[in-house]
Amino acid sequence: MTTDTKEKEASFELECEGGTIKLGIMAKGSGMIHPNMGTMLCFITTDAQVESSRLKTLLQEATDESFNMVSVDGDTSTNDMVLMLANGLSGVRPEGKDWHVFSQMVKEACRSMAKAIARDGEGASKFLEVKVTGAKDICSARMIARSVCSSNLVKTAIYGQDANWGRIVAAAGYSGASFDPERVDVFLNGLQVASQGRGLQFSEDEALLRLTSKDILIEIKLGDGRGEAVAWGCDLTHRYIDINADYRT
């Protein structure tokens, strides 16, 4: 832990046909967090019997939808990694349905750590979730979700409780993903603020009330396909500057 304010760890158990499999996970990360994982370290252990090649494929899938979908400040570092170790001591080799459930357990463990990192972002006062649906494909959905979640203008608007939907659409637009802006709908904690790429008349008081929540959900519905993705992050506050301006002292 460097600037982390909370320990990040969890444990899971899975009852399989041949016995019980255990899984533990712990992570460190609070600042310099971006889709390249930044200064994030994560260690996963299990007593399942799984070949290294199969475990590597599973870990890549889990990382792509968790740690590579989290951003605190858009900055990265050289010392980031995720490791998964399996010692096989349970004697249980998950297959068929058990393998499917085991895979979901690993992915849920990684998602839980990714969200914990976002919640503990340096100086954060709000947890941000960006959900994109209706993209042309999953790659496009991930690009857009990460772009919006990483935007400093979006993050400062969330801190200021400003329902600035234009910043959200702009961040989606420069993500590099292709979509039709005239089909875009935007929701802030369930309140629709834009439809078909245009702003709606909405109650500013209602928007402010919803944005006072500690958890903020931005939903972007594109209407271009079936691609979906979720990214996690936090707001950008004065406290972030304080932490990093005085980091060495």
Pairing of strands 127-135, 215-221: parallel
Give bridge partners of residue 16 from the DSSP assignment.
19
Q: What angle do CA 135, 136, 138 make, to 5 degrees?
A: 70
CA distances from 185 to 79, 83, 173, 225 (A): 38, 38, 13, 14
Q: What is the spatial order of strands in the sheet that 227-234 belongs to?
A: 70-71, 227-234, 127-135, 215-221, 185-188, 191-195, 198-199
Alpha carbon distance 105, 222 (integer Å): 30
Active site residue 39: yes
Instruction: Give the number of other Cβ atoms within 10 Å of residue 102's Cβ.
Output: 22
| Backbone CA torsion sign across 241, 242, 245, 247 | negative
User: 3-state class of 163 per DSSP?
Assistant: coil
Which residue is catalytic, options 3, 39, 46, 237?
A: 39
Alpha carbon distance 39, 22 (integer Å): 27
CA distances from 112 to 24, 35, 42, 86, 133 (A): 12, 16, 12, 20, 21
Residues annotated catalytic, as ranges: 39
